[in-house]
Structure 1
Amino acid sequence: MKNITSIYIIVLTLLLTFPHILNSQKKAATSSADIIIYGGTSAAIIAAVEAKKSGKSVLVVSPDIHLGGLTSGGLGWTDTGDKSVIGGLSREFYHRVFMHYNSIEAWKWQPKEAYGNKGQGTRAMDGESRTMWIFEPSVAERIFEDFVEEYKIQVDRDEWLNRENGVILKDGKIVSITTLSGKTYTGKMFLDATYEGDLMAAAGISYHVGREASSVYDEEWNGVQTGVLHHKHWFQSDISPYVIPGDPSSGVLPRISTESPGEKHSGDNKIQAYCFRTCMTNHEENRLPFPKPDNYDPLQYELLARSLATGRKDFFEKFDGIPNYKTDTNNHGPLSSDNIGMNYDYPEASYERRKEIIKEHEDYQKGFYWFVANDPRIPKDIQTEMQKWGLAKDEFTDNGNWPHQIYVREARRMIGQHVMTENELLKKRPTPNSVGMGSYKMDSHNAQRYIKADGFVQNEGDIGVDTKGSYAISYGSLLPKKEECTNLLVPVCVSSSHIAFGSIRMEPVFMILGQSAAAAAILAIDNNVAVQDVDYSILKNTLEKKGQILKK
Structure 2
Amino acid sequence: MRLPTFCVSLCALAALSLLSRAEDYDVVVYGGTASGVIAAVQAKKMGKSVIVVSPDKHLGGLTSGGLGFTDTGNKGVIGGLSRDFYHRVWMHYDQAGAWNWQKKEEYGNKGQGTPAVDGENRTMWIFEPHVAEQIFEEYIKENQIPVVRDEWLDRAKGVKKEGAHIASITVLSGKTYGGKMFIDATYEGDLMATAGVNYTVGREAQSTYDEKWNGVQVGVLHHRHNFGAVKAPISAYVVPGDPKSGVVARVSTEPPGTYGAADKRVQAYCFRMCLTDVPENRIPFAKPEGYDPKQYELLARVYQAGWRETFQKFDPIPNHKTDTNNHGPFSTDDIGMNWDYPDASYERRREIIKEHETYQKGWLYFIANDPRVPQEVREQMQKWGLPKDEFKDSGGWSPQLYIREARRMVGSYVMTQNDLQKVRKTPESVGMGSYGIDSHNVQRYITPEGNVQNEGDIGVGLKAPYEIAYGSLVPKKGQADNLLVPVCASASHIAYGSIRMEPVFMILGESAATVAAMAIDAKSAVQDVPYAKLRERLLADGQVLEYKAPAKAAGKK
Q: TM-score range by the shorter chain?
A: over 0.9
Partners of 1:171 and 1:455 lie apart in 2 by: 55
Residue 130 (structure 2) aligned to one of 138, 147, 150: 138
Residue 226 (structure 1) aligned to one of 200, 210, 218: 218
- 2:117 equivalent in structure 1: 125
- 1:59 equivalent in structure 2: 51
2:167 aligns to what SS in structure 1? Answer: strand
Larger deviation: 134-143 or 300-309? 300-309
Residue 67 (structure 2) aligned to one of 63, 75, 81: 75
Instruction: Specify the code of the residue in structure 1 equivalent to 2:545.
Output: L
Report the CA distance shift for 1:19/1:113 in structure 2 as closer, same or farther (over 3 A).
Answer: same
Instruction: Specify the code of the residue in structure 1 equivalent to 2:70.
Output: T
Instruction: Specify the code of the residue in structure 1 equivalent to 2:177.
Output: Y
Residue 150 (structure 1) aligned to one of 136, 142, 145: 142
Partners of 1:144 and 1:82 lie apart in 2 by: 23
Instruction: Specify the code of the residue in structure 2 equivalent to 1:115.
Output: Y
Matches within 5 A, 1:443-454: 443-454=438-449
Q: Does 1:281 align with 2:285?
A: no
How far 1:312 sits from its partner (Å)? Answer: 1.5
Partners of 2:221 and 2:419 lie apart in 1 by: 23
Instruction: Specify the code of the residue in structure 2 equivalent to 1:142.
Output: Q
How far 1:23 sits from its partner (Å)? Answer: 4.2
1:72 aligns to what SS in structure 2? Answer: coil
Q: Does 1:217 align with 2:212?
A: no
2:454 aligns to what SS in structure 1? Answer: strand
Q: Does 1:31 align with 2:26?
A: no
Q: Does 1:262 align with 2:254?
A: no
Q: Does 1:494 align with 2:485?
A: no
Partners of 2:113 and 2:18 lie apart in 1 by: 52
Partners of 2:249 and 2:302 lie apart in 1 by: 15
1:187-229, Cα deviation, whole Å (9 max, x unpaired): 0000000000000000000000000001000000000001111
Matches within 5 A, 1:81-92: 81-92=73-84
Q: Does 1:362 align with 2:353?
A: no
Partners of 1:142 and 1:26 lie apart in 2 by: 36
Partners of 1:232 and 1:453 lie apart in 2 by: 21
1:50-71, Cα deviation, whole Å (9 max, x unpaired): 0111110001110000010000
Larger deviation: 487-496 or 115-124? 115-124
Q: Does 1:42 align with 2:34?
A: yes
- 1:338 equivalent in structure 2: 333
Partners of 1:258 and 1:287 lie apart in 2 by: 39
How far 1:26 sits from its partner (Å)? Answer: 3.1
| Residues paired across the two proteins, number | 543
Instruction: Specify the code of the residue in structure 2 equivalent to 1:357.
Output: I
Partners of 2:493 and 2:342 lie apart in 1 by: 14
Q: Does 1:195 align with 2:187?
A: yes
Q: Does 1:326 align with 2:321?
A: yes
Partners of 1:138 and 1:431 lie apart in 2 by: 37
Matches within 5 A, 1:291-440: 291-440=286-435
1:229 aligns to what SS in structure 2? Answer: coil
How far 1:28 sits from its partner (Å)? Answer: 5.4
Partners of 1:473 and 1:162 lie apart in 2 by: 31
Q: Does 1:534 align with 2:529?
A: yes
Partners of 2:100 and 2:13 lie apart in 1 by: 52
Instruction: Specify the code of the residue in structure 1 equivalent to 2:405.
Output: E
Over the aligned positions, Cα root-mean-square deviation in angstroms equals 1.4
Q: Does 1:105 align with 2:97?
A: yes
Partners of 1:267 and 1:18 lie apart in 2 by: 56
Instruction: Specify the code of the residue in structure 2 equivalent to 1:521.
Output: A
Partners of 1:28 and 1:78 lie apart in 2 by: 41
2:209 aligns to what SS in structure 1? Answer: coil
How far 1:260 sits from its partner (Å)? Answer: 1.0
Partners of 1:421 and 1:534 lie apart in 2 by: 23
How far 1:499 sits from its partner (Å)? Answer: 0.4
- 1:4 equivalent in structure 2: none
- 1:252 equivalent in structure 2: 247
- 1:168 equivalent in structure 2: 160
Divergent runs of 4+, >4 A: 14-25
- 1:3 equivalent in structure 2: none
Partners of 1:402 and 1:62 lie apart in 2 by: 20
1:458-503, Cα deviation, whole Å (9 max, x unpaired): 0000000112110000000001001211100000000000000000
Any unmatched runs of 5+ in structure 1?
1-6
Partners of 1:382 and 1:16 lie apart in 2 by: 71
The answer to whether the 8 Å contact 2:315/2:322 transfers is yes
Partners of 1:350 and 1:330 lie apart in 2 by: 27
The answer to whether the 8 Å contact 2:19/2:174 transfers is no
TM-score by length of 1: 0.96
Partners of 1:496 and 1:455 lie apart in 2 by: 36
Report sequence identity in percent: 64
The answer to whether the 8 Å contact 2:250/2:295 transfers is yes
Any unmatched runs of 5+ in structure 2?
548-557
Partners of 2:387 and 2:147 lie apart in 1 by: 28
How far 1:327 sits from its partner (Å)? Answer: 0.2
The answer to whether the 8 Å contact 2:166/2:480 transfers is yes
Residue 466 (structure 1) aligned to one of 458, 461, 464: 461
Instruction: Specify the code of the residue in structure 2 equivalent to 1:180.
Output: L
How far 1:27 sits from its partner (Å)? Answer: 3.8
How far 1:259 sits from its partner (Å)? Answer: 1.5
Partners of 2:309 and 2:8 lie apart in 1 by: 71
Instruction: Specify the code of the residue in structure 1 equivalent to 2:486.
Output: P
2:156 aligns to what SS in structure 1? Answer: coil
1:227 aligns to what SS in structure 2? Answer: coil
Partners of 1:435 and 1:544 lie apart in 2 by: 9
Instruction: Specify the code of the residue in structure 2 equivalent to 1:501.
Output: Y
Residue 482 (structure 1) aligned to one of 477, 481, 484: 477
The answer to whether the 8 Å contact 2:269/2:335 transfers is yes
Residue 87 (structure 2) aligned to one of 72, 75, 95: 95
